[in-house]
Amino acid sequence: QEKVQQSPESLIVPEGAMVSLNCSFSDSASQSIWWYQQHPGKGPKALISIFSNGNKKEGRLTVYLNRASLHVSLHIKDSQPSDSAVYLCARANYGNEKITFGAGTKLTIKP
Amino acid sequence: DTTVKQNPRYKLARVGKPVNLICSQTMNHDTMYWYQKKPNQAPKLLLFYYDKILNREADTFEKFQSSRPNNSFCSLYIGSAGLEYSAMYLCASSYRGPDGYTFGSGTRLLVI
């Protein structure tokens, strides 16, 4: 069964710091990797996805995918208190209708 | 409107009683999903509808039922609730596969 492991479980950083979140997945057949953000009392919201080896940048977010090491990371530049949330990593298989989530990293940005 | 709506937000149920949770979306998405989320655990896929075809996960096959009478509406049914069913239930929808799920805010179920 596909597994998604995230680290760290929780992270506290000061406002303005660079944040790095990690995710590893169990098989190289993963077609796409997604990062979701979940604020308390809300459903997860899709932030950014990556399909190809390498990196992808959107605004303050950069995601790096290394298929050989089955690892993906999310970096948030110039973090803000509104970035405080749980971040979920998810992977999908090609041709599969479903995605598998990790348990999440709880991020707290201290003003 | 690009939202998924779930009702109710909170649900209290007795052990052994049935539970019915409701989800709706107006984005004409062809696929709707139900996930179970417990604290400090990954959201766990229970089942999903692709159009009118129901797919249930093997390890939860007998515990959950669902119906999708039209494209916009999907329900999750528990025939006899147990204490282990206490969790957040998240509904999501997408168009043509797993790209970009849109989630509802969830229904928090407490079984006593």
Question: Which pLDDT score is estimated for A97?
Answer: 66
β-pairing verdict for A61-66 and B4-7: unpaired
Structure tokens at B106: 């969830």
Query: Is pLDDT at B98 greater than 70 in this prediction?
Result: no
CB contact under 8 A, B103 and A45: yes
B4 to chain A: which residues are within 8 Å by CB? 43
Query: Is pLDDT at B96 greater than 90 in this prediction?
Result: no
Q: How large is the average pLDDT for residues A7-28?
A: 94
Distance CA A77, CA A54 (A): 18
B15-26: pLDDT as tens digits: 999 999 999 999
CB contact A32 to B (< 8 Å): yes
pLDDT band at A27 (very low <50, low <70, confident <90, very high): confident
Mind telling me how many Å the CA of A42 is from chain B's nearest CA? 4
Question: Which pLDDT score is estimated for A67?
Answer: 87
Question: Which pLDDT score is estimated for B99?
Answer: 65
CB contact A96 to B (< 8 Å): yes
Of B41, B45, B103, the CB nearest to A98: B45
Question: Which pLDDT score is estimated for A14?
Answer: 98
B103 to chain A: which residues are within 8 Å by CB? 36, 43-45
Decide: helix, strand or coil at residue A82: helix
CB contact under 8 A, B42 and A49: no
Of the listed ranges A68-82, A93-107, B57-71, B82-96, the one predicted with least confidence? A93-107
Distance CA B6, CA B21 (A): 8
Mutation target to probe the B interface, by most B beta carbons within 10 A, among A2, A99, A106 is A99
Decide: helix, strand or coil at residue B16: coil
A36-87: pLDDT as tens digits: 999 998 999 999 999 888 999 999 999 999 988 999 999 999 999 999 999 9
Cβ atoms A34, A90 nearer than 8 A: yes
Distance CA A81, CA A17 (A): 11
Question: Which pLDDT score is estimated for B87?
Answer: 97
Question: Which pLDDT score is estimated for B1?
Answer: 55
Question: Which pLDDT score is estimated for A51?
Answer: 87
Question: Which pLDDT score is estimated for A92?
Answer: 83
